[in-house]
Amino acid sequence: MKETLASSERTCDKNHKYIVCSQCAMQPICKPVQREQTSLNISDNYLSKRIDSSTNEVLFAQNQPLTAIYAVCSGAYKLTQCNRLNEEKIVGFRFPGELIGEDAIHPKAYAYNAIALNESSVCKVNIKELKACSQVVPDLQLSLIDLLTKQSAMSQSQFQSFIAKKTAESLIAAFILNIIQRKSVYDHQGGEVKLTISRDNIANFLGLRRETLSRIISKFQKERYIKQSGKQLSILNKNALIALANL
Amino acid sequence: MKETLASSERTCDKNHKYIVCSQCAMQPICKPVQREQTSLNISDNYLSKRIDSSTNEVLFAQNQPLTAIYAVCSGAYKLTQCNRLNEEKIVGFRFPGELIGEDAIHPKAYAYNAIALNESSVCKVNIKELKACSQVVPDLQLSLIDLLTKQSAMSQSQFQSFIAKKTAESLIAAFILNIIQRKSVYDHQGGEVKLTISRDNIANFLGLRRETLSRIISKFQKERYIKQSGKQLSILNKNALIALANL
DNA sequence: CGCAATTTTGACGTAGTTCAACACGTGTGG
DNA sequence: CCACACGTGTTGAACTACGTCAAAATTGCG
């Protein structure tokens, strides 16, 4: 877990795509600090620090006390919990531009493990420093409120698909739409994403068996709703998926 | 929908049980205002106004612009959405001491209808006034952050039961435990609640058929996990339910 | 290439749905 | 007062979607 200083300018080394700060979820927090930095002498790098994670590396673990919140810069992370028999249960995925751990602000401990799905990186914002800053920079608190409600709205919308679930088909349709929508925010090739999540991980998250997922994905392809070539997934008939998801 | 002024002292008219302010979810917001009221001349009643709803009355509707957030004082509310065929889908319940509509702060529009399940009442906090106050009372913003993260943690925990669902039994067990826990916060008769929600409403929320719910509730009674006499529901074997829920 | 990990396909079992009947209030009107 | 409708909850029998188990096919990596 290599720590480097964050910077507004992201370099794109080889095929590793970093999100730019202007599209980052942490922007409302970083921005006011930058604005005031001359008068307050708070450097750009004071609040935000970059961390690279390699595949399967744990960013933080469940029940650890909250020390920082994170924004994904590149790659992808899974959020997991363990039930009594140490079975892993995936409770969410996070992509570039999204936050991780912000929902630990109240309970003051992380509710899940955050694990990199592949070579990934985050911006880390120390919570103590954030609180200290928010005393000095009045805008920061309002930004934080905005940030929290925004992120909570996102979780809410995913909750809807689960609660609205009638069949496995509707759940999977909703999942595909959700992923496409979230990933297209930063790599804006509408209706097409590189699926970095394994079938097992998706099935685990959706509470389905890998076989069921596979069968329905096959069916969606036969019906020409979607097409997959390798890890690339494209939507051919978005309306059909929306109808199935029935949100 | 009768509006009256809120007051710290709740009177208990006949069998209508009001939550006291000290146990209300809105407390972090109301309290700092009260504290500062002498200096700022913000009356107790300025922020918080009481509203009574009769059975099936709509507090606010989906997609309406956000004007206020609410805290339940008495009774119970259901949160619903409509899919294309105007079928009602229940996405949550709210009991005394809990917030309604606070998750609309970011999207600036309510994500669901809020409907009283029976004679109920809420405290209404106008969002404009809240924002104005938060400029003057610095504590208020921090309280608001606390409030939002607290409430979001609650939603999160309910999300867990849905996502962790293996069988209808585990879902129903989790639901019963959740209800008991939330209701016992203010009417503290451990392990016993008056179930004001109809079977149809519960089944709708859980995404099950009323028949399935009925069968499993019957089974839980045969196994002596729970007992119901009329609307009264008591837990006989909490550990068994916890084991089933497997959270 | 060759092996392991991942994904897909098939056959069968089971949990939950669907449909239908019935039981129990509760309210309404004759 | 009874007759009837209507909402709500329970029970039974047949059907279906998803899970389970087993094996084949594909992918990815040293």
- CB-nearest partner of B106 from A106, A111, A153: A153
Residue B144: band (very low, low, confident or very high) from pLDDT cuts 50, 70, 90: confident
The chain-wide mean pLDDT, for chain A, equals 84
On chain C, which bases lie within 7 A of the protein's CB atoms? Answer: 6-11, 15-20
Mean pLDDT value of segment A91-105: 91
Q: Which long-range contacts (CB under 8 A, 24 or more apart) does A43-48 make?
A: A44/A6, A44/A7, A44/A8, A45/A5, A45/A6, A45/A7, A46/A129, A47/A125, A47/A126, A47/A129, A47/A130, A47/A133, A48/A6, A48/A123, A48/A124, A48/A125
Q: Which residue's CA lies closest to nucleotide C14 at its C1' atom?
A: B167
Q: With 70 as the cut, is the pLDDT of residue A136 above it?
A: yes
- Report CA(B231)–C1'(D1) in Å, whole number: 30
Q: Which pLDDT score, from 0 to 100, does residue A8 have?
A: 43
Contacts of A146 in chain B (CB under 8 A): 106
Strand D-proximal residues of A, range 156-195, CB below 7 A, are 167-169
Nearest CA in chain B to A245: B83
**A217 pLDDT more than 50:** yes
- Whether chain A has a CB inside 8 Å of the CB on B162: the answer is yes
Residues of chain A found within 8 Å of residue B111, distances taken between Cβ atoms? 153, 156
* CB B223 within 8 Å of CB B216: no
- Element containing residue B243 per DSSP (H, E): helix B238-245
How confident is the model over A25-29, as a mean pLDDT?
82
For residue B12, what pLDDT is reported? 43
Angle between helices A168-183 and A138-164 (to 10 degrees): 150
Q: What is the mean pLDDT of residues B91-100?
A: 92
Least confident of A158-172, B35-49, B109-123, B136-150: B35-49
B141 vs A200, more confident: A200
Give the pLDDT confidence score for residue B13 in this predicted structure. Answer: 45
Q: Across A41-55, A183-197, B43-57, B104-118, which has the greatest mean pLDDT?
A: B104-118
Residue among B86, B102, B105 with most chain A CBs within 10 A, to mutate: B105
Provide, in whole angstroms, the distance separating residue B214's CA from nucleotide D2's C1': 32
How many Å apart are CA B196 and CA B17, to the nearest integer? Answer: 13
Is B106–A165 a contact, with Cβ atoms under 8 angstroms apart?
no
- How far does the CA of A168 sit from the C1' of C20, in Å? 27
The string of pLDDT tens digits covering residues B10-25 is 444 444 577 888 888 8
* CB-based contact B152 A150, cutoff 8 Å: no
Report the DSSP beta bridge partners of residue A89: A81
Please, are residues B116 and B57 in contact by the beta-carbon 8 Å criterion? yes
Beta-carbon separation of B159 and A160 below 8 A: no
- Using the C1' atom of nucleotide D11, identify the protein residue whose alpha carbon is closest: B215
Neighboring chain B residues of A81 at a CB cutoff of 8 Å: 160
User: Which residue would you say has higher pLDDT here, A146 or B65?
Assistant: B65
Sheet holding A88-94, edge to edge: A58-60, A113-116, A77-82, A88-94
Q: Provide, in whole angstroms, the distance separating residue A102's CA from nucleotide C23's C1'.
A: 52
Cβ atoms of residues B245 and B172 within 8 Å? no
Give the pLDDT confidence score for residue B4 in this predicted structure.
Answer: 58
Total-model pTM:
0.86
Query: In this complex, is the C-beta atom of A108 within 8 Å of any C-beta atom belonging to chain B?
Result: no
Among protein residues, the one whose C-alpha sits closest to the C1' atom of D19 is A209
DSSP A97-150: T-EESGGGTTTSB-SSEEEESSSEEEEEEEHHHHHHHHHH-HHHHHHHHHHHHH
Which pLDDT score is estimated for B149? 80
**Inter-chain CB proximity A155 and B159 less than 8 Å:** yes
Choose the weakest-confidence range: A49-53, A159-163, B64-68. A159-163
